[in-house]
Amino acid sequence: MAAVCLVSCKEDISTLVSAENAHPKQKDLDGEFFGVRKILGDGNCFYRAFCFAYLESIFHIPRALERFKQKIIQSGQVLAVAGFEESSFIHHLDTVVNVVEECQADEQESTLLKLFNDSAVSDGVVQYLRLLTSAHLQNFADFFCNFVEAPDLQVYCRQEVEVMAMECDHVDILALSQALDVGLHIVSLEGDHHPGPPPEPLLPV
């Protein structure tokens, strides 16, 4: 049985659809990015794409990799403040740190792709980012409670954020971006000009 591809190799944007069915925004993307990577649409695609894209962008910048590693290590305190027991997240935190350290030790970008297509490693990264997102939401509940539809923010986090395969919402994206101090540029191809089902999750590169 062939392994599932979680993150694809780089592909030209023109390969997304045939020329006659091209979305107007794809022309803009073509001029702005070198290509795209397809991410498995399993509900975890945002978190997987977020971490892969950021690590790929700083792969050849040693100081940035070290800074991100330290940020991840320190982020354990964010979860502790939110009430998470260390035993519930330390293994996943270590997984993220190990991924960064392997990137630091190997100058081949193929290493990053290999790691993110190892389901145990890749899902471990996703789980930690979900827990960190939940913790940040709860630590700033006075602000974020205004943007979720749930009996309370803790219920939302337990049911919608921490659970694997649950799709990410805008508020979760903002929380993770703030927690790791990483800016995002998200482009959507959904809208009036895109007939049919939503497109496969894509990661501009």
The number of domains in the chain is 2
Q: What is the pLDDT of residue 107?
A: 81
Indicate whether 70 and 165 sit together in one domain: yes
Is 128 within the bounds of a domain?
yes
Indicate whether 141 and 196 sit together in one domain: no
Indicate whether 89 and 163 sit together in one domain: yes
| Residue the block writes with tokens 């923010």 | 153
**Do the beta carbons of residue 137 and residue 171 sit within 8 Å?**
yes
Tokens of 8: 């694809």
Tokens of 56: 């790929």
Indicate whether 30 and 49 sit together in one domain: no
Is 51 within the bounds of a domain?
yes
* Boundaries of domain holding 154: 45-180
Tokens of 121: 């490693």
| DSSP secondary structure letters along 22-50 | --HHHHHHHHH-S-EEEB--SS-HHHHHH
Is 4 within the bounds of a domain?
no
Q: What is the pLDDT of residue 34?
A: 82
Count CB atoms within 10 A of the CB of residue 33: 16
C-alpha–C-alpha distance, residues 153 and 28, integer Å: 37
Along the 205 residues of the chain, how does pLDDT read in single tens digits?
Answer: 567 999 999 998 877 665 556 667 777 777 788 889 999 999 999 999 999 999 999 999 999 999 999 999 999 999 999 999 999 999 999 999 999 999 999 989 899 999 999 999 999 999 999 999 999 999 999 999 999 988 899 999 999 999 999 999 999 999 999 999 999 988 877 654 444 444 556 555 5
Indicate whether 28 and 116 sit together in one domain: no
Indicate whether 88 and 159 sit together in one domain: yes
Is 72 within the bounds of a domain?
yes
CA-to-CA separations, 57 to 13, 29, 46, 87, 189, in angstroms, rounded: 18, 17, 16, 31, 22
Strand locations in the chain (E): 36-38, 202-204
